[in-house]
Structure 1
Amino acid sequence: MIYEHLIEPSLLAKLAQDRRNCKDFVRQFSEPSPRVISNFPKFKSFRKLAYNALSIDDSENTKQRLDELILFVKEAHRVERTNVFSGEISWHENVALASKSCFADYALVERQEPEYFSGKIIRLKDFEEGLDDLQGQAIVEKEVGKMVGAFGNLLRLSQDITFVDPYFSDNPKVWEVFIALVSEAVKDAPCKGTSITVLYSAEKANLPAPSHLLNKFERENPHLFDDLDRLEFITLESKADNEDLHNRYLITELAGLSLGFGFDARGEGQTDDVSILGKELYETRYKQYVEMEAFTLVNKVSKIIRHK
């Protein structure tokens, strides 16, 4: 439901020539859109290349709109990549090499297509003709493979991942999905260093202790455990006159998903409504759950994996 977009810097300069194209770009990359911007090349290099693409004939309005687009990119959630951007070769050659080492969903280009690009191409003329929206909602079958297919790209592209499920446990229907999702998070990730946090309720009966879950994970999945930078299980209780720990979310630095029934597999024919959170909702839920402003921490067990 989330898709990485590698953007040719000169495309931004061209979009800045038309106000409608600028508005479309901002809308397409604002929550709850599934489109996210790749931080490749790094922002300072990207900004320099975009400004260098301006023509001496471009108007002051174009330059001002480019300033606004550059600021938007700077403040947007961006996918990190370990690939090194070389100034000795073209953007197209860099993108081809980056997508060869790790799959990329889309490339936004002015005209020329990168050779051997792994994903889909969006050209300037596509913006001019009107870009189709990607869906930010889905009906997801509650079967392991279907859930991995729906959530996997967000997990793969993210580095800091928080699962929120008040009834999280080592029940096989929950645990199997969790292991499959964590496996997807570290497989073919564009940037190494994935951290996983699981938040669940300290007020529900018969749920396992965080220490039990951490030990079970490490014992049963040692190689997957070693692939993570951090893994932690945390129980919470609601603060007085504040949010109840009730809804289920998957929240990362890139986006947040809201789930109706949680992370358990219920078999063929059982479905769940999944939606990408809008900007205001995302910021609210991020503060409440990831920063834990709405809850009291009861028990926390974590392990930071020291990679050699």
Structure 2
Amino acid sequence: MTRTADQIADALHTMTAVSKEVDIVDPYFDLRPAKGNYLATLVSLLARLAGAPGQTKAIRIHFRDHDTRPSAEILARDGSAQVTGLLPPGYRIEFYAWSEKLGGEDFHDRYVLTELGGIMIGAGLSADGPEESAAFTLLNFEHAQGLRSRFSDGSTVYARVDSAVRIHDDGSTELF
């Protein structure tokens, strides 16, 4: 499929619509426009998910930490401004920075993982345009849950860096 925001969101919609927990894993995810067009994909997916009233949903975005990443405080400020009004009632979005542990797994692959299963995305979630494509691979339940555990407290594969940022549907933020 082509790497447009709408095509990527369409491919992810069915699994994410029926899930209460969505883990978006892309080491390069960045809300800054100069770093790829990840925001357009997120906006397109949230627009599709907004059609199911009365749901609560946690969307967690996991990315690799590096020396040019903004601090958690700046991410809370700027991220809130970018997603305010886009989160349906009952939704929250969380941002987590991770680093590889010495001798651990390479943080390169991209996924959308839920409590129901997952999808591996070959080229990532950035909407780089219709001239590029990405392959999507459906993951079975056990594989998806094993991958999700890499991005949770107590992970033996990756180390969480700094505070995580939570943005609520009303635009309020918290660091945790």
Alpha carbons of 1:216 and 1:264: their partners in 2 closer, same or farther (altered >3 Å)?
Answer: same
Indicate conservation of the 8 Å contact 1:157/1:189, yes or no. Answer: no
Which of 60, 68, 75 is the matching residue for 1:206?
Answer: 68
Alpha carbons of 1:284 and 1:168: their partners in 2 closer, same or farther (altered >3 Å)?
Answer: same
SS at match of 1:198: strand
Indicate conservation of the 8 Å contact 2:84/2:169, yes or no. Answer: no
Residue 45 (structure 2) pairs with residue 181 (structure 1) = yes
Instruction: Determine the C-alpha separation between the residues in 2 that align with 1:165 and 1:179.
Output: 16
Alpha carbons of 1:196 and 1:296: their partners in 2 closer, same or farther (altered >3 Å)?
Answer: same
Point out 4+ residue stretches in structure 1 off by more than 6 angstroms: none
SS at match of 1:153: helix
Alpha carbons of 1:268 and 1:226: their partners in 2 closer, same or farther (altered >3 Å)?
Answer: closer
Q: TM-score, normalised by structure 1?
A: 0.49
Indicate conservation of the 8 Å contact 1:260/1:273, yes or no. Answer: yes
Q: TM-score, normalised by structure 2?
A: 0.81
Equivalent residues in 2 for 1:1-308, closer than 5 Å: 140-172=1-33, 173-185=37-49, 187-189=50-52, 192-202=55-65, 204-225=66-87, 227-290=89-152, 293=155, 294-299=157-162, 300-304=164-168
- What's the offset of the Cα at 1:301? 1.7
Indicate conservation of the 8 Å contact 1:159/1:191, yes or no. Answer: no
Structure 1: tracts of 5 or more residues without a match: 1-139
- What's the offset of the Cα at 1:228? 4.2
- What's the offset of the Cα at 1:217? 3.4
Tell me the equivalent position of 1:57.
Answer: none
- What's the offset of the Cα at 1:290? 4.4
| 1:207-265 residue CA offsets vs partner (Å, 9 max, x unmatched) | 33343333233223322246243321110112222222111110111111101111111
Structure holding more strand per residue: 2
Structure 2: tracts of 5 or more residues without a match: 171-176
Instruction: Determine the C-alpha separation between the residues in 2 that align with 1:159 and 1:151.
Output: 14
Instruction: Determine the C-alpha separation between the residues in 1 that align with 2:4 and 2:88.
Output: 26
Instruction: Determine the C-alpha separation between the residues in 1 that align with 2:76 and 2:47.
Output: 16
SS at match of 1:289: coil
- Paired residue type of 1:189: A
SS at match of 2:131: coil
Structure showing greater radius of gyration is: 1
SS at match of 2:145: helix
Alpha carbons of 1:245 and 1:255: their partners in 2 closer, same or farther (altered >3 Å)?
Answer: same
Alpha carbons of 1:162 and 1:205: their partners in 2 closer, same or farther (altered >3 Å)?
Answer: same
Tell me the equivalent position of 2:174.
Answer: none
Tell me the equivalent position of 1:72.
Answer: none
Instruction: Determine the C-alpha separation between the residues in 2 that align with 1:227 and 1:180.
Output: 16
CA RMSD, aligned part only? Answer: 2.2
| 1:25-44 residue CA offsets vs partner (Å, 9 max, x unmatched) | xxxxxxxxxxxxxxxxxxxx
- What's the offset of the Cα at 1:194? 1.1
Higher relative contact order structure (alpha carbons within 8 Å, sequence separation ≥ 6): 2
Structure holding more helix per residue: 1
> Number of residues paired by the alignment?
165
Instruction: Determine the C-alpha separation between the residues in 1 that align with 2:86 and 2:154.
Output: 27
